[in-house]
Amino acid sequence: MPRHSVLSIGVIATLLLAATPAHAQDAAALQSYFVGKEVVIKIDMPGSQKGVDLRFNKPSAMDWKEYGSRVKQFGVAIPKGETARVTSLVVKRDMIEFQLDGGGFGVAGDDTTTKVESKPLEKSDYEKSLEQQISQTDDPDKKASLQQQLDREQAKRQRQDSWNAHQAAVASQQKAMAVAQNRAQGGSRFNLRWSGSIPADGMTPAGLMKYLADYVSFPASSDNHSQAATTTPGAAPNTSPASSLQRGMKQDDVTALLGPGKQISETVGDGGLKTQVYEYTSSDRRIQVTYVNGVVVQYTINSN
């Protein structure tokens, strides 16, 4: 092998070895800067570990059709305008996971199934014996008596099957409610994706905030890279009843807090899972609350 080729390979290897620790150091710096900080979300975040994909190798980073599909499928975990905490920041070769309030329900170990199946009972030995006796007798009276016994045994099995199916439907509804609640409380994430590798500015706090600027507001303390809302000095704290609204509250508690409200939609899904949307208005704000079987799973607050 020519000497200059050996030198070239050695130079490339040295550069790669030097780049790897630098990348790890930049990732550690990003994690140290962001993890634990609170941010304000500018869009509704899907209740799933899939989160929102932002692809910066395309003319538009956001695929709004894909985004809408995820919100529809998984519901909203973090409504627009809410404050969320950065709980993890994962840097990979060509993407950064910006995880909020837990990163989203549906990771390994999360039970996302909502269907409980009921397995039909097998015929008992007694039922099989009656069928065999009927097939082997020619006596009309005996056959009629055996048939009556068989009918009773089959009806007994069918009643048990019906009861088991009912219990499975109830269990499915309970699981669906639990999954919906877990999705509403499990957080979400942004997946920032590039082609090949993360650009240099994406590995800096200022650059990452720039890439997320259309979707996230950062607190003013973050080197003034955002336009987060601030409180006027001397202003009274927010004592509106809406400030006590939380996901997981029962509808009766919300009614006691905000008044009766106005129902604007109702749907019933598989297993009888009922979803209702109510609107509560006052002189200065409008609140929209989504309930699943009488439990708050998401809400939005807007000024009038």
- Asked whether residue 120 is domain-assigned, the answer is no
- Asked whether residue 141 is domain-assigned, the answer is yes
Q: Which residue has the higher pLDDT, 240 or 158?
A: 158
* Tens-digit pLDDT profile for residues 47-100: 999 999 999 999 999 999 999 999 999 999 999 999 999 999 999 999 999 999
* Tens-digit pLDDT profile for residues 23-33: 678 888 899 89
Query: CA-to-CA distance for 30 and 99, rounded, in angstroms?
Result: 13
In this structure, the chain runs to a length of 304
Average pLDDT over residues 5-13: 49
For 224: left if phi > 0, alpha if psi spans -120 to 50, otherwise beta; the answer is left
Closest CA to 184 of 265, 300, 286, 287: 300
- Asked whether residue 112 is domain-assigned, the answer is no
- Asked whether residue 284 is domain-assigned, the answer is yes
Same domain, 144 and 197: no
**Residue 2 pLDDT class (50, 70, 90 cuts):** low
Same domain, 3 and 97: yes
- Asked whether residue 82 is domain-assigned, the answer is yes
Q: At what angle do helices 125-136 and 140-185 cross, to 10 degrees?
A: 150
Same domain, 140 and 274: no
Same domain, 17 and 98: yes
Give, for 140, the enclosing helix (H) or strand (E): helix 140-185
Instruction: List the beta bridge partners of residue 267.
Output: 275
Same domain, 146 and 287: no
CATH, residue 302: 3.30.1450.10
Same domain, 26 and 162: no
Q: Between β-strands 52-55 and 295-303, what pairing exists: parallel, antiparallel or unpaired?
A: unpaired
Same domain, 16 and 164: no
Range of lowest pLDDT (10-19, 199-208, 242-251) = 10-19
Final residue before a domain boundary, out of 194, 227, 260 = 227
Give, for 77, the enclosing helix (H) or strand (E): strand 76-78
- Asked whether residue 285 is domain-assigned, the answer is yes
Residue 184's pLDDT is 84
* Tens-digit pLDDT profile for residues 182-230: 888 899 999 999 999 999 999 999 999 999 999 999 976 444 433 333 3
Residue 23's pLDDT is 65
Same domain, 77 and 144: no
**Residue 19 pLDDT class (50, 70, 90 cuts):** very low
Same domain, 37 and 71: yes
Residue 173's pLDDT is 84
- Asked whether residue 233 is domain-assigned, the answer is no
Structural domain total, the chain: 3
Domain that holds residue 222: 1-105+186-227
- Asked whether residue 71 is domain-assigned, the answer is yes
Residue 218's pLDDT is 92
Residue 223's pLDDT is 43
Range of lowest pLDDT (47-51, 168-172, 174-178, 221-225) = 221-225
Same domain, 134 and 277: no
Final residue before a domain boundary, out of 156, 175, 194 = 175
Same domain, 203 and 244: no
Is this model's pTM higher than 0.85 or not? no
Same domain, 85 and 137: no
* Tens-digit pLDDT profile for residues 99-108: 999 999 887 7
